[in-house]
Structure 1
Amino acid sequence: MLQRRVLRWAAEERAAEMLDRLGELVSCESPPGSAPHLAACADLLTGWGRAVLRREPRRIVRDGVPHLLWRAPDQRVLLLGHFDTVWPAGTLARWPFTVDGAIATGPGVCDMKSGIVQMFTALALLEDTSHVGVLLTGDEESGSVTSRSLVEAEARRSGAVLVCEPGTPSGELKVARKGGSAYRLTVHGRASHAGVEPHAGVNATVEVAHQILAVGDLAAAAHGTSVTPTALSSGTTSNTVPEKAVLSIDVRSWTSAELDRVDRMLRRLEPRLPEAALTLEGGVNRYPLVADMARGLLETAREAARELGLEPPGGAHVSGASDANFTGALGVPTLDGLGGVGGGAHARSEYVDVRRMPERAALLAALVDRLAAAPVPAESARRGIPPS
């Protein structure tokens, strides 16, 4: 075991380096789906990871999206994160990385580039990384479409998964997350001249209005289930009865049963207007991360914090989903929120408290050090644990 107080001091000694790296990483834009930008960011992270893990990553490119994997033969702990952000290319020109006192801002500074900087700093503090795997993906913000199978495969061969997504603004770790579903509802109508023959058409805008109200009625506040109509497009010109409308639907819930209920009900939607038709695409993307998957790891993290002289972090239940939902659903012990302490993710108010980055890196290192000393349980011991 590492000397905990020395570990915290060593992390504090790297504070300036961490801030420089954060600026470099935030300034390397990585918008969703942009292969050139994501590749450049992966190049930067390859060098950082090689230096601390002392082994080359596998660079896995799927549909143009790069993912970086440093596997360990006896993988007792997997550090998981993503380097894509929600911000489009060019955002940096209008909103550059900025530090004002203890607060850093910029696209992706909290979600989750500060977590990546802390991750590599933590690894640099460890004497032995031979039992530690690292997976950094390039499409988490767009649903982990190409990386999900990779995340799940690496989780299955790991004793525990630590996710370096941001913590809460007060520094709590994340022990439970809502699951989420995404749908695309297409309404098919019939076009006609809006002034001459409006009666000859089937108005997709009117039909989608009926469907928006029906979709909203599927929410269940008592279960924490939200069903939210979001993006909407309809029609072509102002003098044409719309023949098509497309509605996006976002669903979140604390339980798998609720996600399945809403899925069934959405598939039973019927058109209200004669001759209108509906097409539904999508489904459950992530089942919930339940607190049982994090309870033991949270206590270990709290013990490590005490030894470091830090306030033991609490465990938070949060609405947003992450790749932790995938790993927890497999029955693999998973603890999330080990990244930066900040807030405002996906908003122009996004920030991270840079004063806390060294202590969070030290906490992560101490937690990894403890977990790496424990053998990986047989996969069969985790098999058959259903999401709840």
Structure 2
Amino acid sequence: MADLLDEVLADVRTLVECESPSADLAAVARSAEVVARVGTARLGVAPERIVLDGRTHLRWRLGPAPSRVLLLGHHDTVWPLGSLAEHPYGVEDGVLRGPGCFDMKVGLVMAFHAAAGLDGVTLLVTGDEELGSPSSRELVEEEARAATAALVLEASADGGALKTERKGVSLYEVRVFGLAAHAGLEPERGVNATEELAHQVLAVSALADPAAGTTVTATAARAGTTTNTVPAAGSFAVDVRARTAAEQQRVHRAIGALAPALPGARVEVAGGVNRPPLEAASSAALHRRVLTIASRLGLPAPGSAAVGGASDGNFTAGVGTPTLDGLGAVGGGAHAADEHVLVGEVPGRTALLRALVEELLADSATPAPAAPGHDHP
């Protein structure tokens, strides 16, 4: 176990010390090469390099057998170049620190060690998840459709809990149009876009349903040009989070049906569903299996958590593939100065992941029993 931890820490340091901010294409490309080198050393096979819209993604297909289990992660981070100078890699008193360690470079290294020597696994590491996966979404969905299960190596929730629910995300821009006029001389000749915007913000905000866990939040807004002109146009952004696809679609239909409140005003809506929800039903069976494995291995039983943030697990669940998220590092501080990983948790989590993958591979390799009264060739 100590040898495994030493190897994991060495690999993590290599990845953390190669900065990989999502918006920097050159940095993401450099990081992909480092991830490819570390992964190849552990898996014994080189990945495919898939470049989409200038962003480098890596895909390992392990063994000659058809792939049945998808391990999913990303190597891009939110940390800008130069962050290492202020937040260097280090391990002290059992706590590992460094930009991107928790989200999610430790999870990547865990995946490499857990999948080594297995057949029938695809390991996909994308390079734009922190941006919303604009270039990799179709790739993620394609791999998920071919798998019997998707295991996402994002960091755990508080206390090591697995992420068994993630809210779906929808993003909109509501644009309002009025008619300009002089605010002092003849304001009555105008149609005030700021006033119309206020009506629409209230209408949109009323679509939230706290009891269902649905949030509808008006965010960045702008209207008008000068302080003495009735505004002719304005807009505001809307962030929607919903636990179920039904709730997500309810809000989508309502926002698409917005109508102007002021005579002469006009309303347009752009945007839509960004990520479907990871619903509890998608992860329930996998979480139960993890609890059984943990008991057998003598490991603490990981809890479950519903979270508002999204990941590529939303996409895998959205195409109907059973998905379990948050299988990566235990720690905290994602995207923050106190980002950290609890080193002592890494070996057990890696063993748990390995055992889960082995069971899923064994299940999918066993033919289902024939139904009574039916002959099968």
**What's the TM-score bracket when you normalise by the shorter of the two chains?**
0.7 to 0.9
Cα distance in 2 for partners of 1:193, 1:47 equals 65
Deviation for aligned residue 1:165: 0.8
Of 48, 55, 74, the match for 2:66 = 74
Bigger RCO (CA 8 Å, 6+ sep): 1
Residue in 1 that maps onto 2:29: 39
2:170, 2:275 within 8 Å by CA — same for their partners in 1?
A: yes
Cα distance in 2 for partners of 1:52, 1:161 equals 21
Equivalent AA in structure 2 for residue 279 of structure 1: E
Residue in 2 that maps onto 1:212: 201
Residue in 2 that maps onto 1:3: none
Of 317, 321, 330, the match for 2:306 = 317
Cα distance in 1 for partners of 2:350, 2:318 equals 26
Tell whether 2:3 aligns with 1:13. yes
Residue in 1 that maps onto 2:50: 60
1:74, 1:376 within 8 Å by CA — same for their partners in 2?
A: no
What's the secondary structure of 1:170's corresponding residue?
Answer: helix
Give the aligned length.
365
Tell whether 2:127 aligns with 1:135. no
Cα distance in 1 for partners of 2:265, 2:198 equals 13
Deviation for aligned residue 1:219: 0.2
Equivalent AA in structure 2 for residue 255 of structure 1: T
- Structure 1 segment 266-277 matched on structure 2, within 5 A: 266-277=255-266
Equivalent AA in structure 1 for residue 6 of structure 2: A
Residue in 2 that maps onto 1:168: 157
Deviation for aligned residue 1:234: 4.0
Q: 1:37 to 1:190 in 2, by over 3 A?
A: farther
Deviation for aligned residue 1:262: 0.4
What's the secondary structure of 1:374's corresponding residue?
Answer: helix
2:11, 2:38 within 8 Å by CA — same for their partners in 1?
A: no
Q: 1:148 to 1:192 in 2, by over 3 A?
A: same
Cα distance in 2 for partners of 1:308, 1:84 equals 33
List per-residue Cα deviations over 1:284-342 (Å, max 9, x = no partner): 12222222322232232223222332112222222222221222233322211100112
The answer for unaligned runs of 5 or more in structure 1 is 1-8, 379-388
Deviation for aligned residue 1:203: 4.2
Deviation for aligned residue 1:281: 1.3
List per-residue Cα deviations over 1:318-367 (Å, max 9, x = no partner): 22222212222333222111001123333444332222122211211222
What's the secondary structure of 1:144's corresponding residue?
Answer: coil
Residue in 2 that maps onto 1:111: 103
- Structure 1 segment 90-129 matched on structure 2, within 5 A: 90-123=82-115, 126=116, 128-129=117-118
The percent of aligned pairs where both chains have the same amino acid is 50
Residue in 2 that maps onto 1:370: 359
Cα distance in 2 for partners of 1:238, 1:159 equals 59
- Structure 1 segment 220-231 matched on structure 2, within 5 A: 220-231=209-220
Residue in 1 that maps onto 2:283: 294
Residue in 1 that maps onto 2:249: 260
Tell whether 2:297 aligns with 1:308. yes
What's the secondary structure of 2:160's corresponding residue?
Answer: coil
How high is the TM-score relative to the length of structure 1?
0.84
Deviation for aligned residue 1:377: 8.8
- Structure 1 segment 173-188 matched on structure 2, within 5 A: 173-188=162-177
Q: 1:279 to 1:108 in 2, by over 3 A?
A: farther
Cα distance in 2 for partners of 1:236, 1:193 equals 12
Residue in 1 that maps onto 2:372: none
Equivalent AA in structure 1 for residue 110 of structure 2: Q
Q: 1:134 to 1:210 in 2, by over 3 A?
A: same
Residue in 2 that maps onto 1:159: 148
List per-residue Cα deviations over 1:171-194 (Å, max 9, x = no partner): 111222221211122233455666
Residue in 2 that maps onto 1:332: 321
What's the secondary structure of 2:363's corresponding residue?
Answer: coil
The answer for unaligned runs of 5 or more in structure 2 is 368-377
Deviation for aligned residue 1:220: 0.4
2:14, 2:34 within 8 Å by CA — same for their partners in 1?
A: no
Cα distance in 1 for partners of 2:93, 2:146 equals 42
Deviation for aligned residue 1:221: 0.9
Greater alpha carbon shift after TM alignment, 214-223 vs 143-152: 143-152
RMSD over aligned Cα, in angstroms? 2.6
Greater alpha carbon shift after TM alignment, 157-166 vs 346-355: 346-355
Deviation for aligned residue 1:110: 1.7
Q: 1:196 to 1:361 in 2, by over 3 A?
A: farther
Deviation for aligned residue 1:267: 1.0
